[in-house]
A and B are shown apart, each in its own frame.
Chain A
Amino acid sequence: MSYYFTILSPTDAPLFNIAFGTSKSGGDGIARFRFPDTAQYMNQFIIHSSLDIVEEAQWMNGNLYLKHIDTYPPAQAYISAFLTPSGARFLLLHQPPQLPSTSSSGGNTGSSSLLGSSFSASALGGGSSGRASSSSIAANPTAPQTEEAVRQFMNEVYENYVKTVMSPFYRVGLEIKSPVFRARVTAAGKKWL
């Protein structure tokens, strides 16, 4: 699974973004998106296009975490959202690994292709059934386990976001450049996703 995480200000200015891969089930934490490296803007494109749905969903309930809100089927991209009370949005795009597992990493080819293929079956079948692989968040982006993991991730990022915004040298509405914050988001990603 590859992830693209971004924070948008209430006025939709991007404040922070980071791409990383899963560290669960033998992942090496490196993002491998389906687009070639020259087309990474597609991630931003997809994630920003989900903003309309975020704005709709934010009035549906009082939760900060809006769960999985949007899917972009051509790229198998799933988007989860989290709102802070001040209106900043945390958006996470997750994309399961490509089918004939193009993993260039040596050690885990067996397991990752297994997960990849079981996911493809469930995706083609149009729904997730209770199968063993769904316990792995790398396999199934819509499973409750994944929702829970993303929620934990979002909460941890939120906590760190608050601390970062409290720094007197940070101007509200500007890009978050803090290397400490980036490191903490990376750590949260490693821990939960």
Chain B
Amino acid sequence: MSSTTKTARIGEELWKTRVDKVNAELVTLTYGTIVAQLCQDYDGDYTEVNKQLDKMGYNIGLRLIEDFLARSNVGRCANFRETADMVAKVGFKMFLNISPTVTNWTSDNNQFSLIFEENPLADFVELPDDGRSQDELWFSNILCGVLRGALEMVQMQIDAHFVSDILRGDDTTEMRVSLVRYIEDEMPPDEE
């Protein structure tokens, strides 16, 4: 428990001292425009939009982790629980100034949920009322990609996806994250 509060303090401290801030509405509107444009480009094929958002996020995550580690100076996490804490309390705090709640662990400590009480990406947003977006579009899907990309760079293959979203009329916004495996350093195949 004390390590959790310690992590939270690290995040707090970083947010106060080491982060350049930008207007939240700029972020919200920019992201909203991207999603709306994607929906238009893919002609309302929301499955494809989700995929594209995830891919964008993945590419962001791959480099964002470098920035994260350079600024935060945190060391290696001993286990996946610690990683989850770090992601929620330091990572999200640093880049979005939110700290989603980590909860719903499975007994093998390989899966957890992030509950977003607030989500700056989704301010002002109302999903289009075409009867499908509410069931198919994960508006903030970019976050899944970011997480996947970032953790992959530190030897964790994970799967992240949203399971509920306030925008869809659910009570909470919840992302499910599960550890697939730790990526071991491997010899390139068939090299003699």
Number of interface residues of B (CB under 8 A): 16
Number of interface residues of A (CB under 8 A): 11
- In the complex, whether B127 has a CB less than 8 A from a CB of chain A is yes
In the bound complex, CA of A169 to CA of B37 (Å) = 9
Which of A34-70 touch B at CB < 8 Å? none
A168 near B35: Cβ-Cβ < 8 Å: yes
Chain A positions 154 through 187: 1 when the CB is less than 8 Å from some CB of chain B, otherwise 0: 0000000001101111100000011110000000
In the bound complex, CA of A168 to CA of B28 (Å) = 9
Specify which chain A residues have a CB less than 8 angstroms from the CB of B124 in the assembled complex: 163-164, 166-168
A179's partner among B25, B28, B33, B129 (CB-CB below 8 A) is B129
Which of B111-155 touch A at CB < 8 Å? 123-129
- In the complex, whether B8 has a CB less than 8 A from a CB of chain A is no
B29 near A177: Cβ-Cβ < 8 Å: no
Residue in A163, A168, A177, A178 with the greatest tally of chain B CB atoms within 10 Å:
A168
Chain B positions 25 through 65: 1 when the CB is less than 8 Å from some CB of chain A, otherwise 0: 10011011101100100000000000000000000000000
In the bound complex, CA of A168 to CA of B31 (Å) = 9
Chain A positions 114 through 155: 1 when the CB is less than 8 Å from some CB of chain B, otherwise 0: 000000000000000000000000000000000000000000
Chain B nearest CB from A26 CB (Å) reads: 34
Question: Nearest chain-A residue to B33 (Cβ)?
Answer: A168
Specify which chain B residues have a CB less than 8 angstroms from the CB of A168 in the assembled complex: 29, 31-33, 35-36, 124-125
In the bound complex, CA of A163 to CA of B123 (Å) = 9
A169 near B29: Cβ-Cβ < 8 Å: no
Chain B positions 141 through 173: 1 when the CB is less than 8 Å from some CB of chain A, otherwise 0: 000000000000000000000000000000000
Specify which chain A residues have a CB less than 8 angstroms from the CB of B128 in the assembled complex: 169
Question: Nearest chain-A residue to B36 (Cβ)?
Answer: A168
Specify which chain B residues have a CB less than 8 angstroms from the CB of A164 in the assembled complex: 124, 126
In the bound complex, CA of A180 to CA of B39 (Å) = 21
Chain A nearest CB from B154 CB (Å) reads: 32
In the bound complex, CA of A178 to CA of B29 (Å) = 18
Specify which chain B residues have a CB less than 8 angstroms from the CB of A166 in the assembled complex: 25, 28-29, 123-124
In the bound complex, CA of A118 to CA of B13 (Å) = 66
Specify which chain B residues have a CB less than 8 angstroms from the CB of A179 in the assembled complex: 129
Chain B positions 14 through 28: 1 when the CB is less than 8 Å from some CB of chain A, otherwise 0: 000000000001001
In the bound complex, CA of A179 to CA of B128 (Å) = 11
Specify which chain A residues have a CB less than 8 angstroms from the CB of B123 in the assembled complex: 166
B125 near A177: Cβ-Cβ < 8 Å: no
Question: Nearest chain-A residue to B124 (Cβ)?
Answer: A166
Question: Nearest chain-A residue to B28 (Cβ)?
Answer: A166
Residue in B28, B33, B123, B128 with the greatest tally of chain A CB atoms within 10 Å:
B128
Specify which chain A residues have a CB less than 8 angstroms from the CB of B33 in the assembled complex: 168
Residue in A163, A169, A179 with the greatest tally of chain B CB atoms within 10 Å:
A169
Q: List 18 A-B contacts (CB under 8 A).
A: A163-B124, A164-B126, A166-B25, A166-B28, A166-B29, A166-B123, A167-B124, A168-B29, A168-B32, A168-B33, A168-B124, A168-B125, A169-B32, A169-B39, A169-B125, A169-B126, A169-B127, A180-B126
Known pairs A166-B28, A168-B36 / 6 extra A-B pairs, C-beta < 8 Å: A164-B124, A164-B126, A166-B25, A167-B125, A168-B124, A169-B127
A contact set with B: CB distance below 8 Å:
163-164, 166-170, 177-180
B contact set with A: CB distance below 8 Å:
25, 28-29, 31-33, 35-36, 39, 123-129
